[in-house]
Structure 1
Amino acid sequence: MQLAMTHMINATSCFLFKLIKRQREQKKKKMAVEKHDGVQSTIKLVVLLVFLGWGFIWIMMPTNTYRQNWLPKIRTETSSTYFGTQGATLLLFTFPVLFMAAFGCVYLYLAKRANDSNMESNGEKQGPTIWKRPMLVKGPLGIVSGTELAFFIMFIALLVWSFSVYLHDSFIKITPKVAAEDGEKVWEEKLESSALRIGLIGNICLAFLFFPVARGSSVLPLLGLTSESSIKYHIWLGHIVMTLFTAHGLCYIVYWAVTKQLSQMVLWDKTGISNLAGELSLLSGLFLWVATIPRIRRKFFELFFYTHYLYILFVVFFIFHVGISYACIMLPGFYLFMVDRYLRFLQSRRQVRLVSARVLSCQALELNFSKSHGLTYNPTSVMFINVPSISKLQWHPFTITSNSNLEPEKLSVVIKSEGSWSQKLYQMLSSTSSVDRVNVSVEGPYGPASTNYLRHDTLVMVSGGSGITPFISIIRELVFASTTFKIKTPEILLICVFKNSSCLSMLDLILPLSGTPCDISSVQLQIEAYITREKEPKSNNSVQAQTRWFKPYATDSPISAILGPNNWLWLGAIISSSFIIYLILIGIITSYYIYPIDHNTNKIFSFPLRSFLNMLMICVSIAITASAAVLWNKRHNAIEAKQIQNMASTPTRSPASMIYNEDRELESLPQQSLVQATNVHYGGRPDLRRTLFELKGESVGVMASGPKKMRQEVAAICSSGLAENLHFESISFSW
């Protein structure tokens, strides 16, 4: 009796000790999260204030108050032997954006850590606000949320405001007397003035053009955007930019023609506006613009891809055209793009380790790469892939289906054989000839800075064809959260539409490749699959997936973050330090080379040469800082790569051809759970309206990925207002 009492007391003491220890750990985590939240709120407030000040400058820019009062005073204070008149533009337009980008990196670093803590603590169930609901579903702008529509209207209002103020102030000064003194007619003077003002408005659009295409930039995640979802903004801005600059150029050509000054077209002024440089910039942009026509882009993708590199000539000649001082207005977006582009270039130089390829009967591939443990990414992330044996220059984006938590040593992407590039890759990997190794380079991954699917009671995923791929990563994330943290996950309803029954093999990709523990039964998953072109199941449709294993070289490295686990902090350091180095270098050149020529001689330093020196110093500063950061992190990546290489194992049941059928036993728990959760419907399409409206729950997250019409239909249902619990989120990876 006494012994039993002793054991009971010891057990109770042990339990109380563990309970107290757990409570202390939870308290520490809560305090750490609260501290991070406080720092994040402060950073967000500072960034917001800087953004409002930067936006206010844009609003005031066309007014006489800014041009006649503010700008002269600022130039008086900033004009020095180091920067000259360029200093005012750097202070007003370049510095605020780079400041926000650098502080945004710190914010996203803290948000990433907070996102991990939120998953462990089950997060907070708070649905999206009304501003994220679709406001426009059809039309040239596609699916547009309330926030996007508000920003779009404000941006158009800024353009209209600027143009009207510019025209009003310039037309007042154009009178018959002034025109007669210049030897011109009033309409000719107004045409020239309008042409100039159209160019000024075009520069406003150009200042925002490159923000959406900086894939690893910190600016987009601050607004809750990803690089893939922001491509549409780049497309909208690109069309507006080229329309305005084309009108700008044509108006000047007409003006020169009627005033018999066509010789101005070949003028390259060394101390003013260079007309020839502007025309070369416009021609480069026009060639690029024509190749973006949807029909040309789809039919001749390589033409579209290669002509897009003309953006380099477009920007270089634009800077030569207007001079570096005025070009600093559009510099911030392009500066961040250059940082991102150079980091992508460094990452693309590596050959990554392709471990295996799962070949499906529906002309689809799952590529499985080796990855470092330090590389983490969120669901729906995208990775760009290049296969030199197919094309050395083409890079194609694909959705990552693996989960960095569930599969710490593997990264997977799914490629559907739809275009010429993907068809060649499928033929190469599905052929019976032995291919022991495939050279592959990657860029990325890129994805949302944070996710919180746990905030919903139910998740509805509507996919068409290969649009199922982003949902695979979400399902695996929820499986990981449920099995690891033992938390309640949302009920999952996956509605997938396929053309043929052979495409049902895409559902096998929900389960990771054999060897990865995955308890699919831990989540409440229901799959409704619809086969539209078949009225009944085919008897010969049980073709199993094949897996081809490769023998990578020792030089092939696992996929790793180019800037290591703390990539946001490193990116912030690169942005800030490179800009400081640029200021130091250009300050030295101006003080000891440009300033003496401007002030000690009778001639003015060449504007094109000044622009060239600035562009060169920008490139040098970015190259130095980014290369140093990559080399510093390369040591850690190399050590981890060696460890992974030593631990790498080869398949135990692969014949000499390196191909074997992946004969999962149907009795296995994961496969059995998947089969039981799947209902297949033949010869029809889903009634999405009825299905969505019948869903109960306080918060139902609805995601759609696939054809444009399907996404628009789902968005229209969610934005109809007939069901307040539906929250729509479009996932589109088509350009």
Structure 2
Amino acid sequence: MSNMIQPAIRLIAMLIFLGYMMIWVMMPTNTFWLHWLPRIHSATDSTFLGQQDLIYFFVLSSICAGGNILVYTAPILLIATLGCIYLHLENKPSYHPSNQRSNIHLMGLLERPVIVRGPLGIVTWKELLFLSMFIGLLVWSTSAYIHAMFATITTQSASKMKVKVWEVKLDSMALMLGLVGNICLAFLFFPVTRGSPLLRLIGLTSESSIKYHIWVGHVTMVLFTAHGLCYTLFWAKTHQISQMLKWEKIGISNVAGEVGLLTGLGIWLTSVPYIRRNVFELFYYTHHLYILFVVFFILHVGFSYCWITLPGFFLFLINRMLRFLQSHQKVRLVSARVLPCRALELNFSKTPGVNYNPTSSIFVNVPKISKLQWHPFTITSSSNLEPEKLSVVIKCEGNWSQKLYEELSLPSTNHLQVSVEGPYGPATTHFHKYETLVMFSGGSGITPFISIIRELVHMANDPNSTNKTPQVILVPAFKTSLDLGILDLLLPVTGTSHDISRLRLKIQAYVTQESGPPKPATENQQAYRTVWFKPSTLDAPISAILGRNSWLSLGMIIVWFSVTSLTVVAVVTQFYIYPNDRNTNMIYSYTVRSVLNMLIICMSIAITVIIAFLWNKKRNSAEMRQIRVTDGPTPLTSPGMSSWYYSADRELESLPYKSFAGCITVHCGERPDFKSKQTHIYNLLQHVKKLCLKM
């Protein structure tokens, strides 16, 4: 049944999206203003949602708020709801039957990289398509607005206004820059909404789309800054500089726009790469000023207009509230493996209902180290191989990770309070469809491949899998032989009962800064140390924030938020705002109306999300009680491969089957050579190239 419903949902969502984009394309044209706009206005002419003054709103929006909601906000919220239903029905397993490989191959064509070098990094055909559409929309809107505005500017019209022609054009140019900047603002928050149904519906993630948030943010601030400068220059040249100090009761508020622009400039200046990389805390904390930026933007243009530009922001607020609730839960940290190469693995308890795909990530907060800092780490465990455990690997590179490593190295450490957000990751992974996987990594970059290898171990031993497990060739590069200890983490801390020999794995490890055979470890370095933590009654396993049916719950939140917020706004407008207008014969202050409606929107989101969270938490409590909580662990003998590099034939005593030790070849004092025809890596790449050409 779902096979029939899902294509229908995709088709409906695509048609709605095309209609939504058509509105943006037509918005700069006379057809929109002279024909479409009056019809939309007449169809939504209602005092329940309010109507802007047509004189001041002659360009920004002469549509009533109901029209803005119908044309700009409703399509996005509807697509998001349909996406939640689609993802709920999808429920794909971690691997696909062999008869679906052709379908996966066809769908994977759009996910192939088309650009691998450049300011945007690796870009797939799918991303390039959406990026081209967005750039085309900006170019078209700019040219259409300029053509329409300049066509009415003549010497006679300028003389009537007692200004010069170029000054009138400057005024029009300033307005045009603001309108085009609003387009960028409308798409700014989509890429940073973690777990967004819109991104998942088209096969993208917020992690891979963050680069587009950065570039859209740059374009937004360039346009808004030019918008403010052009108006300042126009007022200065026409002796209206006092306009900068006006906060109109009805219409555009200049002061609010200036405050919003200054806030945006603060965010923009602290997000340059130099500050973001060297003073990350300043970048992180300053970025939270986006709240003030959005608030003053709404006060600047009016609440009715915000429905045009901020539907993505509403989805972001829902996600942010869910993350806030999840981040305030303390999770149970079961154990940690502390490696002598200054790397460590954290193993959390989780409910079996938390499923994720390989290469997913979570955000970790350790209050004892820092109450405010959250750091993302790649998940190295497999939800199929380890249904009740979730693991991440952390390499000591900064102050936060150094302090965490030192804390876990103390013999007295028997409990650590930790909070997490996530997991977040790709909707699907198609690595299983290939005959051979060749994975290259440097240092801690091996962590995504650990989750893939563990997943493949499960697949190779799954009797229900009809796929042939691909051959895996891992080529990691490390600085020193001590860093080879990261390979100890290829298997879970408690080992596995699966037959590892069924996975065809070869590891070609390179040690770049040491020559000769690997140096033997000292007495303190011969084995990593496993720390088992005592459970706390305040700690709970990691659970899905909205339960097993998280997508369906999210769709219900979006629908309920939309219904309640619109209902409350309509009631307040009908029974409070408009009675004041009629009694005083004056239009209600736009600033007060905006503040009141913003409070209604925020309260609607908060109440809806909290109710859904508490309801699902109650449902999850039964599942959480099934997780065994013991006073002290009785682990198996450590399955690590410590000292394997000076005893290559050593078998792991804790495993009944063949370990990975015999699959490893170490090359010291050299790097992987991709050009020399005499190297194993070159021949390997040529073999993979031939396989790709056959596909």
Normalising by structure 2, report the TM-score: 0.91
Counterpart of 2:588 in structure 1 is 605
Shift of 1:124: 2.1
Q: CA RMSD in A?
A: 2.2
- 1:59-107 Cα distance to aligned partner (Å, 9 max, x none): 1011111112111211111021211310000000100010000010111
User: What's the CA shift for 1:638?
Assistant: 2.2
Amino acid at match of 1:650: P
Within 5 A, what are the aligned runs for 1:496-645?
A: 496-541=476-521, 543-645=526-628
Higher mean C-alpha deviation, range 224-233 or range 89-98:
224-233
Residue 386 of structure 2 is matched in structure 1 by: 407
Partners of 1:181 and 1:576 lie apart in 2 by 51
1:77 alignment partner, one of 43, 52, 68: 43
Deviation at 1:480, TM superposition (A): 0.9
Aligned with residue 414 of structure 2, among 418, 436, 451: 436
* Contact 1:389/1:439 (8 A) holds in 2: yes
Aligned residue for 2:408, secondary structure, equals helix
Q: Is the 8 A contact 1:456 1:699 kept in 2?
A: no
Is the alpha carbon distance of 1:40 and 1:451 closer, same or farther for their aligned partners in structure 2, counting shifts above 3 Å? same
Change (3 A) 1:279 1:692: farther
Please list, as runs of the form range in 1=range in 2, the aligned pairs for 1:327-342 lying within 5 A after superposition: 327-342=306-321
* Matched letter for residue 341 of structure 2: C
Q: How does 1:291-370 map to 2 (within 5 A)?
A: 291-370=270-349
Query: 1:123, 1:455 within 8 Å by CA — same for their partners in 2?
Result: no
Q: Is the 8 A contact 1:111 1:450 kept in 2?
A: no
Task: Quote the Cα distance in structure 2 between the aligned partners of 1:301 and 1:536.
Answer: 40
Is 1:390 the counterpart of 2:369? The answer is yes
- The CA deviation string for residues 124-147 of structure 1, in whole angstroms up to 9 with x for no partner, is 254365433322222222222222
1:268 and 2:247 aligned: yes
Residues in 2 aligned to 1:670 and 1:681: alpha-carbon distance in whole angstroms: 29
Equivalence for 1:16: none
1:106 aligns with 2:96: no
1:465 alignment counterpart: 443
Partner of 1:13: none
Residue 493 (structure 1) aligned with residue 473 (structure 2): yes
The counterpart of 2:659, out of the listed 673, 676, 691, is: 673
Match of 1:241 among 208, 220, 227: 220
Per-residue deviation at 1:181?
A: 1.4
- CA distance in 1 between counterparts of 2:442 and 2:225 reads 39
| Shift in Å, 1:415 | 0.9
The 10-residue stretch of structure 1 (255-264 or 158-167) with the greater mean CA deviation from structure 2: 255-264
Alpha-carbon distance between aligned partners in 1 of 2:357 and 2:43, rounded to the nearest angstrom: 47
Match of 2:55 in 1: none
Question: Does the residue aligned with 1:177 lie in a helix, a strand or coil?
Answer: helix
SS of match in other structure, 1:229:
helix
Aligned partners of 1:226 and 1:354: how far apart in 2?
Answer: 27
Deviation at 1:692, TM superposition (A): 5.4
Q: Shift of the alpha carbon at 1:284? A: 1.0
What is the identity, as a one-letter code, of the residue corresponding to 1:51?
A: F
Query: Does the C-alpha gap of structure 1 residues 692 and 150 become closer, same or farther in structure 2, counting only changes over 3 Å?
Result: farther
Q: Distance in 2 between matches of 1:509 and 1:680?
A: 17
The one-letter code sitting in structure 2 at the alignment partner of 1:76 is S
Residue by residue, what CA displacement relative to the aligned partner does 1:329-376 show, whole Å, maximum 9, x if unpaired?
Answer: 122100110000000000011111111111112211100011111111
**Which residue of the other structure, out of 667, 686, 695, is the alignment partner of 1:694?**
686
Cα distance, 1:599–1:169 mapped onto 2, change above 3 Å: farther
Q: Which amino acid aligns with 1:625?
A: T
**Identical pairs, percent:** 55
Which residue, out of 23, 26, 29, partners 1:63?
29
Higher relative contact order (CA 8 A, sep 6+): 1
1:446 has 2:424 as partner: yes
Q: What's the counterpart of residue 58 of structure 2?
A: none
How many residues are treated as equivalent by the alignment? 662
**Deviates most, 394-403 or 681-690:** 681-690
Distance in 2 of aligned mates of 1:71 and 1:556:
56
Output the amino acid matched with 2:44.
T
Distance 1:691 1:122 in 2: 31
2:5 alignment partner in structure 1: 39
Quick one: structure 1 residues 692 and 91, their matched pair in 2 at CA, closer, same or farther if it must change by over 3 Å?
A: farther
User: Moved runs in structure 1, 4+ residues, more than 6 A?
Assistant: 660-665
Q: Counterpart of 2:527 in 1: which secondary structure?
A: coil
Partner residue in 2 for 1:684: 670
How far 1:653 sits from its partner (Å)? 8.4
Tell me the alpha carbon deviations over residues 182-231 of structure 1, each in whole angstroms, 9 at most, x when there is no partner.
12111111111101100110110110000011102101111111121111
- Is contact 1:292–1:304 with CA below 8 Å preserved after alignment? yes
CA 1:93–1:456 in structure 2 vs 1: closer, same or farther (change >3 Å)? same
In the alignment, the residues of structure 1 paired with residue 694 and residue 289 of structure 2 have an alpha-carbon distance, to the nearest angstrom, of 47
The answer as to whether partners of 1:356 and 1:548 remain within 8 angstroms in 2 is yes
TM-score normalised by L of structure 1: 0.86
The range that moved more, 638-647 or 489-498, is: 638-647
Bigger mean CA offset, 409-418 vs 125-134: 125-134
Q: Distance in 1 between matches of 2:352 and 2:129?
A: 41
Q: Deviations over 1:595-627 (max 9, x none)?
A: 223345321011111111221111111112111
Q: CA deviation at 1:450?
A: 2.1
Amino acid at match of 1:553: S
Is the CA contact 1:511–1:670 (under 8 Å) kept in the aligned structure 2?
A: no
Letter in 1 for 2:182: N
Residue in 1 aligned with 2:160? 181
Q: How far does the alpha carbon of each residue in 1:429-469 deviate from its partner, in whole angstroms, 9 at most, with x for none? A: 12x34112111111100111222322211112111111111
Partner Cα separation in structure 2 for residue 275 and residue 697 of structure 1: 60
- Conserved in 2, the CA contact under 8 Å of 1:305 and 1:394? no
Residue 254 of structure 1: aligned partner: 233
Deviates more, 1:536-545 or 1:666-675: 666-675
Measure the CA separation in 1 of the matches of 2:375 and 2:513. 29
What is the aligned partner in structure 1 of residue 101 from structure 2? 124
**Cα shift readout 1:260-313 (whole Å, capped 9, x = no counterpart):** 222111211111111111111111111111111111111111111111101111
8 Å Cα contact 1:213/1:231 also seen in 2: yes
Cα 1:93–1:724 change in 2 (3 A) is farther
Give the Å deviation of 1:576.
0.8
Q: Judge conservation of contact 2:20–2:72 (CA < 8 Å) in 1.
A: yes
Letter in 1 for 2:548: P
Which one of 19, 42, 65 corresponds to residue 53 of structure 1? 19
Is 2:380–2:391's contact at 8 Å kept on the other side of the alignment? yes
SS at match of 2:627: helix
Q: Please name the residue that 1:156 is paired with.
A: 135
